[in-house]
Amino acid sequence: MHPNLKNALAWLLAPAALLVAGCGGRVSASDASAVQNLSSISIQASETRIDTNRTTRYTATLADGEPASVEWSVSGGDPSAGAGSISRDGVYTPPGYLTQDAVTVQVSAVLVGVLAGKTGQTAPPTGSTALTVTPGFLQPLTPANLSLGANGSVTISGSMTEVGGTGGMRFALASSTTGTPSTEGTLSTPHCTRGSVSGSNPSYTVCSVTYTAPAVIPASDTVYILGRVASNPTLSWTRVLLNAAGISSNPAEHQTRLPVPVSLGSSSGSNVDYDASQGQLTDCCGGTLGALLQDTSGNQFVLSNNHVFARSDQSIPGETIVQPGLIDNGCTPYGVGPGTTPVATLTGYPSLTSPATNVDAAIARVTPGVVDPKGSILELGAKQADGTLAAAPPGISSTGGKGEAASLGMMVAKSGRTTGLTCAAVSAIDVDVVVDYFTDCAETTHSMTKTFTNQIAIAGTSFSDAGDSGALVVDAANAEPVGLFFAGGTDANGVEQAIASPAADVLTELNSQVPESGAPTTYNFVGGADHPVSCLSYDAAKSQEETPASPALPAAERERVEAALAQAQPLVNPTNGIVRVGIVASKDHPGEGAIGLFVEPIAGATNAAAAAPPIPPSVGGIPTVILAAIGPSGEPATPPVASQPRAASLNQALALKQKISASLLKSNSALFGVGVGQSLDNPSDAALILFVDRKKITGSLPESPELVGGVRVRYILMDRLHVTRSHGSAHGLGTPRTGRCFSPRRPDATPEEELSPSEPGLFEDRLNLPE
């Protein structure tokens, strides 16, 4: 059990000293014991087979088991790409590509230091071991999600880090990500295009397959196209929503170069959002063209995130904004090669480094005639005759372009570069989150960590992904702006957790921090009459097999709950609907036990939820869970389930969150977000939502909601939140690449100078991309 996280809530209500334990270093063996049996050293690694997307760490020990100080080296490997590299501390990194289905790398270590000269041998002791390296995915399957009606078809493709070779990819149609076969539709024979090495620039293997939906779709369902690189078990998949309403949606259309005037919800970004090394462009980024704004003078501006348009505070006004973003044009900027359209010029942004800034936003003045003046967003409109969704402006008739506030459980929609049109419910409000920012596309150089307050959390399968940054979040019922999406992550159940800044806050900060031409102004959303959105929700048709089963509780955890079970027996009262109690797994506290209260409808009650008895959030320090009792027919009897927490419970949780959030975030490095949402153990109750870095927590979580004044606590274990622009290598986007040289950006360079070659002929070696 993680001691700091275990007690963090208790410390906030009963102040105590925070003790931080130090980390010990390695203890060296004495010369006397270490010199013995040094004829060789032993090398250990956690894995003996990896693909090109992974690394592995090696350690070396002496014969007596003590750590050895060694110099590492690698040999063998791929005849063209080499053996890869290994760092001084033993971290092995494979080469970026292979020309075979598998290669063997020899990892060697030589003893160095004082002991190396005391062995009595003519040469220092050595050790070696073999590692098998196989190709991996260069890019996951694309598109990652899509919707199809009856008889609809789509081509799915993936790129792998293999040049030549014979392995290719294997594709399968499944009803779940675990590989359960599905008969809902068919797959064609895969087709692979294998590249060749030209100098240091490989052309990777690209494989594709066509999926065709069944002729009849009686009810919406989800199927998966699974892809595996043949030589290793690495899995990628595309989630397909078989849409009973006949709606077809392919996010790939959001990533293309659109005809002028372009619609919002499409790929975009700064024309200089790339990384360069030694005059070579190495990486580039992209996000989403979110929405259209208009000031009091009638000037129009496109809205996105600061980290999409302004490169996280690194840009100066005047930089060119292009559509699509460089990520979708082979990292080829406008002015260097074809494929993009300049759509706007960066106007300004609330600075992320300023404590007065609480949104991640930037605006760029529209190039006249290039962006749809009505603010139409891809797929936000009605279904068309061919099953696709029309572009349409957001609704503004209810709020006059000011946007509306989010509420817990509100169904919202967003149209973004990577996942297209998706819908999900607001899962938490008044969320305080800690987000990391980087100076480069590859996210290797950390620039800042910023805490945002009063944000919106949205949870949904395939709701968002990298590259959707800057997308406008709207109320699915009327298309009114609700928020601006800027960060996200994936929880332990594979569900995307998205964070958006409230729409009203975005406008307020733009009004105060980004004056137009130096004069105060007011920005409003451009749109039209309120209208419903044809929602695509992957949660609604989620396969039952994909839903994680309740884990079996360890014996010690069952004993802990058993000790408190007797205290719960007095709650059993059939006239109030509670028919028995038992030991179950908590949904709010992953991995921990709870007291299950099995409930059935109250006879004669016209409002089951209102007639439900008051349920304590915990008994004896153990959380309670509301479950359906088994009725006379053998089927679960529907218990009183609330679609929303009780108002009193919600207000209590909001008040508590305001009181302890700041201190709670500082109490433990594993916590990076605090908000208020709905308890899963008892949906009638609100809960304090804690976002926990699953890589920093070990053991169980706090089991005593009573530590926070009777308010339930719900934990979401997930990867740490990150800003969600997409990035890719200039040589890693699945098509043949040639070297391109770029002059490094200078701090004093104008946007035009940044694209100017430093000498004649500098850009002569370029991509030949279609217009």
With bands split at pLDDT 50, 70 and 90, how would you rate the model's confidence at 194?
confident
With bands split at pLDDT 50, 70 and 90, how would you rate the model's confidence at 146?
very high
With bands split at pLDDT 50, 70 and 90, how would you rate the model's confidence at 304?
very high
Better pLDDT: 40 or 641: 40
What is the structure's pLDDT at 498? 96
With bands split at pLDDT 50, 70 and 90, how would you rate the model's confidence at 726?
low
Is residue 31's pLDDT more than 60? no
Is residue 620's pLDDT more than 80? yes
Token pair belonging to 352? 């992320």
What is the structure's pLDDT at 481? 98
How far is residue 474 from each of residues 303, 397, 471, 525, 556, measured CA to CA in Å? 14, 13, 10, 12, 46
Is residue 417's pLDDT more than 70? yes
What is the structure's pLDDT at 383? 96
Nearest alpha carbon to residue 481 among 541, 419, 415, 542: 415
Is residue 56's pLDDT more than 90? yes
With bands split at pLDDT 50, 70 and 90, how would you rate the model's confidence at 291?
very high
Contact between residue 307 and residue 466 where contact means Cβ atoms under 8 Å apart = no
Token pair belonging to 407? 């509420």
Token pair belonging to 527? 């749109």
Is residue 541's pLDDT more than 70? no
Helix (H) or strand (E) holding 324: none
Is residue 744's pLDDT more than 80? no
Is residue 437's pLDDT more than 50? yes
Place of tokens 């004056």: 515
**CATH number of this structure's domain 137-248:** 2.60.40.1510
With bands split at pLDDT 50, 70 and 90, how would you rate the model's confidence at 195?
confident
What is the structure's pLDDT at 546? 44
One-letter amino acid at 204 equals Y
Q: What are phi and psi of 40, to 5 degrees?
A: -160, 165
What is the structure's pLDDT at 540? 64
Which residues, in sequence order, are CB contacts of 610 under 8 Å at separation 6+? none
Contact between residue 415 and residue 471 where contact means Cβ atoms under 8 Å apart = yes
Q: What is the largest CA-CA distance in the chain?
A: 93
Q: Domain 34-134 is classified in which CATH homologous superfamily? A: Immunoglobulins (2.60.40.10)
Lowest-confidence pick of 60-74, 182-196, 400-414, 620-634: 620-634
SS3 call for 111: strand
Which residues, in sequence order, are CB contacts of 154 under 8 Å at separation 6+? 143, 146, 148, 210, 211, 240, 250
Mean pLDDT over 538-544 rounds to 61
SS3 call for 389: strand
Better pLDDT: 67 or 214: 214
What is the structure's pLDDT at 668? 84
What is the structure's pLDDT at 370? 98
With bands split at pLDDT 50, 70 and 90, how would you rate the model's confidence at 747?
very low
Mean pLDDT over 186-199 rounds to 89
pLDDT digits (tens, 9 = 90+) for 79-135: 999 999 999 989 999 998 999 999 999 999 998 875 555 545 556 788 899 999 999
User: Residue 10 carries which DSSP code?
Assistant: H
Is residue 245's pLDDT more than 90? yes
What is the structure's pLDDT at 486? 97
CB atoms closer than 10 angstroms to residue 153? 13
Strand order in the sheet with 145-148: 145-148, 235-242, 221-229, 169-174
What is the structure's pLDDT at 202? 82
Q: Whole-angstrom Cα distance, residue 450 to residue 721?
A: 11
Token pair belonging to 172? 């399968």
Lowest-confidence pick of 76-90, 272-286, 718-732: 718-732
Lowest-confidence pick of 111-120, 552-561, 615-624: 111-120
Which residues are 500's β-sheet partners?
A: 456, 485
What is the structure's pLDDT at 738? 31
Count Cβ neighbours within 10 Å for each residue of 489-512 and write b for 16 or more, e otherwise. Answer: bebeeebbbbbbbbbbbbbbbbbe
Is residue 569's pLDDT more than 80? yes
Helix (H) or strand (E) holding 142: strand 137-142
Token pair belonging to 231? 């030589």
What is the structure's pLDDT at 750? 43
CB atoms closer than 10 angstroms to residue 739? 15
Better pLDDT: 244 or 767: 244
- What mean pLDDT, rounded, does the chain reach? 83
Lowest-confidence pick of 422-436, 650-664, 710-724, 729-743: 729-743
What is the structure's pLDDT at 396? 98
Lowest-confidence pick of 429-443, 632-646, 718-732: 632-646
Q: Whole-angstrom Cα distance, residue 456 to residue 437?
A: 19
SS3 call for 511: helix
What is the structure's pLDDT at 636? 52
Which residues are 656's β-sheet partners?
A: none
Domains 34-134 and 137-248 share a fold: yes
Nearest alpha carbon to residue 43 among 138, 152, 128, 111: 128
Better pLDDT: 673 or 739: 673
Better pLDDT: 364 or 770: 364
Domains of the chain by residue range? 34-134, 137-248, 555-718
Better pLDDT: 605 or 76: 76
Mean pLDDT over 746-754 rounds to 41
Mean pLDDT over 285-307 rounds to 96
Mean pLDDT over 385-406 rounds to 97
Percentage of residues in the chain having pLDDT higher than 90: 60
SS3 call for 132: strand
What is the structure's pLDDT at 247? 95
Mean pLDDT over 430-455 rounds to 93
